[in-house]
Amino acid sequence: MKTAIPLVLCLLLMPIPIAGQSSLLIDDSAAESIVVSHAEIFSSNSRMMLAGPNDITLWQQNQQNSEKNETKNMAQHATGTFEVKLTPQDDKLGGGSIGRMTINKQWQGEVAGTSEGQMLTGGDVKTGSAGYVAMEKFTGTVKGRKGTFLLQHSAIMIEGKGDLTIIVVPNSGTEELKGLAGKLTIKIENGKHFYDLEYSIP
């Protein structure tokens, strides 16, 4: 008696299938022959073919292209300094516990240009606990690539210990900065603001 075995099971049983037969059979009495019919496997919407020399060459080329793209999209760093001017707005929100400011920055270094935005603050810094959120739009260049993008700020301070996160808003980049993604860190030394933009771009 000979029993038909699914081709996928055949591949699990045999690391190197033998092509050229129309079906896979196992002789139940002697278990003498296992043969593989076709050199193609169809699984849902995907297709895998048993590789010949041309397939291997194509696979190697695809791997090289993939590695190039990964290298291209690896995180880069742009550093420099900026000056910022915060202008309080007299909105009288929340009985004074909520404030709003406009943001104006001048960027120097590998990120060069200007930005403007809005900041909302809450809490009382005298107690050592407060928070702020902000959005700003940058216009200029990043390592010579021209365009605009948005930065989103989120910060909180608890008993004097602060935690600040600034990210590039996804898909906000334009022109040569289209596809820009990343985050910004800020360090203040002797009253001077330093930045490090860690980013990737297609």
* Range scoring the smallest mean pLDDT among 114-118, 122-126, 127-131, 190-194: 122-126
Which amino acid, 20? G
Where in the sequence of the chain do the CATH 2.40.350.10 domains occur?
A: 76-200
Strand partners, 155: 132, 164
pLDDT at position 62 is 66
pLDDT at position 123 is 87
List the helix and strand counts (H, then E) for the chain. Answer: 2, 12
Topology of the domain comprising 76-200: AOC barrel-like (2.40.350)
Q: Looking at per-residue confidence, does 1 or 110 come out higher?
A: 110
**Angle at 159 (CA atoms; ends 184, 183), nearest 5 degrees:** 10
